[in-house]
Amino acid sequence: MPEVPLGDAGTPGAPRVGVVTFPGSLDDRDAAAAVRLAGADPIPLWHGDSDLHGVDAVVLPGGFSYGDYLRAGAIARFSPVVGAVVAAARNGLPVLGICNGFQVLCEAGLLPGALTRNSGLHFICRDQRLRVETSSTAWTGAYTAGEEILIPVKHGEGRYVVDASTLAELTAQDRVVVRYAGGNPNGSVDDIAGVCSENRRVVGLMPHPEHAVEELTGPGTDGLRMFTSVLGGLLRAAL
Amino acid sequence: MTGTPSAPTTSQPYRELGLTDDEYERIVATLGRVPTDAELAMYSVMWSEHCSYKSSKVHLRQFRDTPATDRLLVGMGENAGVVDVGEGLAVTFKVESHNHPSFVEPYQGAATGVGGIVRDILTMGARPIGVLDPLRFGAADAPDTSRVLPGVVAGIGGYGNCLGLPNIGGEVVFDPVYAGNPLVNALCVGVMPVGRVQTSAATGVGNAVVLLGAKTGRDGIGGVSVLASATFDAEGGPARRPSVQVGDPFIEKILIECCLELFDRGLVVGIQDLGGAGLTCALTETTAAGIATGQPGGMDVDLDLVPLREASMEAHEVLASESQERMLAVVTPDVLPEVLALAERWGVHATRIGTVTDSGRLVVRWHGEVVVDVPPGSLADDGPVYERPLRRPADLDLLHADAPTALVRPGTGAELRETLLRMVASPNLCSRAWVTEQYDRYVQANTVLAQPEDAGVLRLSASGLGIALATDGNGRYARLDPFAGAQLALAEACRNVAAVGAEPIAVTNCLNFGSPEDPEVMWQFAQACAGLAEACRRLGLPVTGGNVSFYNQTGATPIHPTPVVGVLGLLPDVSRRTAMAFTGAGDTVVLLGETRDELGGSEWAWVTHGHLGGTPPAVDLAQEKSLAEVLVAGGRDGLFTAAHDLSEGGLAQALVESCLRGAHGARLELPADADPFVELFSESAGRAVVTIAAADLDRLAALCASHGLPWRPIGAVTAAADLEVAGQFTISLDELRTAHEGTLPRLFGSTA
Using an 8 Å CB-CB cutoff, list residues of chain B that contact chain A: 127, 129, 154, 157-158, 161-164, 191-193, 248-251, 253-254, 257, 346-347, 436-448, 459-462, 574-575, 750-752
The per-residue pLDDT for B10 is 61
Kindly provide the ipTM of the predicted complex, given to two decimals: 0.94
Q: How many CB pairs under 8 A join A and B?
A: 112
Closest residue in A to B158 (Cα–Cα): A123
The per-residue pLDDT for B540 is 95
Mean pLDDT on B413-439: 98
- What value does the mean pLDDT of chain A take? 93
Gap between the Cα atoms of B603 and A34, Å rounded? 44
pLDDT digits (tens, 9 = 90+) for B79-88: 889 999 999 9
The per-residue pLDDT for B7 is 52
Closest residue in B to A48 (Cα–Cα): B345
Q: Cβ of A125 under 8 Å from any chain B Cβ?
A: yes
Q: In terms of DSSP H, where are the helices of B242-358?
A: 249-264, 278-292, 315-320, 336-346
User: Percentage of chain A with pLDDT > 90?
Assistant: 85
Verify whether the Cβ–Cβ distance A118 to B752 is below 8 Å: yes
* Nearest Cβ partner for B129 among A2, A152, A156: A2
The one catalytic residue in A107, A133, A157, A210 is A210
The per-residue pLDDT for A66 is 87
pLDDT band (50, 70, 90) for residue B219: confident
The per-residue pLDDT for B593 is 98
B75-78's contacts with Cβ under 8 Å and 24+ in sequence apart are B75/B542, B75/B544, B75/B545, B76/B543, B76/B544, B76/B545, B76/B546, B77/B545, B78/B124, B78/B200, B78/B545
> Using a CB-CB distance cutoff of 8 angstroms, which residues of chain A are in contact with residue B574?
216
> Using a CB-CB distance cutoff of 8 angstroms, which residues of chain A are in contact with residue B127?
2-3
The per-residue pLDDT for B151 is 97
> Could you give the C-alpha distances from A187 to A117, A159, B71, B107, B501, in angstroms and in order?
9, 5, 50, 24, 40
Mean pLDDT on A198-222: 97
The per-residue pLDDT for B1 is 38
Q: Of A128, A171, A155, A151, nearest to A227 (Cα)?
A: A151
Mean pLDDT on A90-107: 96
Q: Of B500, B478, B625, nearest to B565 (Cα)?
A: B478
pLDDT digits (tens, 9 = 90+) for A103-160: 999 999 999 999 999 999 999 999 999 999 999 999 999 999 999 999 999 999 999 9
Judged against a pLDDT cut of 80, whether residue B226 lies above it is answered with no
**Residue A127 to chain B, least CA–CA distance (Å):** 10
> Using a CB-CB distance cutoff of 8 angstroms, which residues of chain A are in contact with residue B447?
217
Q: Cβ of A154 under 8 Å from any chain B Cβ?
A: yes
- What value does the mean pLDDT of chain B take? 94
Judged against a pLDDT cut of 50, whether residue B274 lies above it is answered with yes
The per-residue pLDDT for A70 is 80
The per-residue pLDDT for B64 is 87
Asked if residue B125 lies in contact with residue B196, where contact means CB atoms within 8 angstroms, the answer is yes
> Using a CB-CB distance cutoff of 8 angstroms, which residues of chain A are in contact with residue B158?
123
Q: Cβ of A124 under 8 Å from any chain B Cβ?
A: yes
* Nearest Cβ partner for A125 among B249, B440, B446: B440
Q: Annotated catalytic, B707?
A: no
**Residue A98 to chain B, least CA–CA distance (Å):** 13
The per-residue pLDDT for A6 is 45
The per-residue pLDDT for A2 is 37
**Residue A73 to chain B, least CA–CA distance (Å):** 14
Query: Which DSSP string do the residues of B23-75 spell out, in sequence order?
Result: HHHHHHHHHTSPPPHHHHHHHHHHTSHHHH-TTTHHHHGGGGGS---TTEEE-
Task: Identify the residue among B250, B257, B461, B463 best suited for mutation to test binding to A, counting A beta carbons within 10 A and taking the highest.
Answer: B250
Judged against a pLDDT cut of 60, whether residue B60 lies above it is answered with yes
Judged against a pLDDT cut of 70, whether residue B484 lies above it is answered with yes
> Using a CB-CB distance cutoff of 8 angstroms, which residues of chain A are in contact with residue B445?
27, 29-30, 33-34, 210-211, 214, 217
The per-residue pLDDT for A215 is 95
pLDDT band (50, 70, 90) for residue B237: very low
Q: Annotated catalytic, B98?
A: yes
Closest residue in A to B150 (Cα–Cα): A122
> Using a CB-CB distance cutoff of 8 angstroms, which residues of chain B are in contact with residue A35?
none
* Nearest Cβ partner for A1 among B253, B440, B462: B462
The per-residue pLDDT for A234 is 78
Query: Backbone phi, then psi, for B709, in 5-degree steps?
Result: -100, 125
Judged against a pLDDT cut of 80, whether residue B5 lies above it is answered with no
The per-residue pLDDT for B74 is 86
Judged against a pLDDT cut of 70, whether residue B347 lies above it is answered with yes
Gap between the Cα atoms of A201 and B716, Å rounded? 52
Q: Of B439, B445, B499, B443, nearest to B469 (Cα)?
A: B499
Gap between the Cα atoms of B605 and B676, Å rounded? 16
The per-residue pLDDT for B17 is 87
Query: Which DSSP string do the residues of B153-206 spell out, in sequence order?
Result: HHHHHHHHHHHT--EEEEEEEE-GGGSSS-EEEEEEEEEEEGGG-------STT
The per-residue pLDDT for B141 is 96
Query: Backbone phi, then psi, for B144, in 5-degree steps?
Result: -70, -25
Q: Cβ of A188 under 8 Å from any chain B Cβ?
A: no
Verify whether the Cβ–Cβ distance A125 to B448 is below 8 Å: no
pLDDT band (50, 70, 90) for residue B232: low
The per-residue pLDDT for B224 is 61
pLDDT digits (tens, 9 = 90+) for B602-648: 999 999 999 999 999 999 999 999 999 999 999 999 999 999 999 99
